[in-house]
Amino acid sequence: MPSYKLIYFDLPGLAEPIRLLFSYGKVPFIDQRITKEEWVTLKPTTPFGHLPILEIDGVPYSHSRAIFRYVGSIVGLIGKDPMENLAIDSVLGAMLDIREAIVKLRFCEDEAKKPELKKALEERYQRTYKKLEVDAGKNGGYLALNRPTWTDVLFCYNYELLRNALGIDVLTPYPNLQKVKKTVLSQEGIREYLKKRAPNPMKPKYELQQDL
């Protein structure tokens, strides 16, 4: 097996789904967390000036979505053909749309614009969750296919972000999506990771391990 090193800040951010995916498959990886000062030195040496980076046998690869999919593959959570991967990638797109709306609200500096951004986030996630609830019902508790895929793991992290952004348990009206979360959180590698994961320096009100 190649050696893996994940480089990111000491934050969940775009690296946490990757840490969760490695953990799902119990694939060993170095979880290198760097300071902002270290980033200044490292940045010019990276492929595109971004984190996270996944080093595979010392070769750096960039872009979180590319890394999600790669780690999803190596832990056996990918589709078996292009059609299945289309279904998986489509769910990823829906997750990232929600994340984008969360980020817009969180980093908005204009107080007057916040209610509008909050409404946009609510509409976006409700529209998405309604559709995914139906799909998860048909798929027996999985989002994209009738078996676990890497988007189920992404979904749990996305839920954690969303719950903190809105301050409510966004899953209450969605029993099938609750099942998706429960299945992921009961997976052995995920449980072990969540029990020992580094405290989030942002100190959010809700963290996934509360539901273990």
Q: What is the binding site for a second copy (CB under 8 A)?
A: 47-50, 56, 61-67, 69-70, 73-74, 78, 82-83, 85-90, 92-94, 97, 127-128, 131
Q: Which is nearer to a second copy, 64 or 158 (CB)?
A: 64
Q: Which is nearer to a second copy, 32 or 46 (CB)?
A: 46
Smallest gap from Cβ 201 to a second copy, in A, equals: 26
Q: Which is nearer to a second copy, 48 or 107 (CB)?
A: 48
Its sign, for the CA torsion 193, 195, 201, 202, is positive
Smallest gap from Cβ 161 to a second copy, in A, equals: 18
Considering only CA atoms, which of 139, 164, 166, 169 is closest in space to residue 151? 139
Do 18 and 69 form a contact (C-beta atoms < 8 A)? no
The amino acid present at 144, given as its one-letter code, is A
Smallest gap from Cβ 95 to a second copy, in A, equals: 10
Q: 30: burial class by Cβ within 10 Å (0-12, 13-18, 19+)? A: exposed
3-state helix, strand, coil in the chain (%, to 5): 60, 10, 35
Smallest gap from Cβ 58 to a second copy, in A, equals: 14
Q: Which is nearer to a second copy, 152 or 194 (CB)?
A: 152
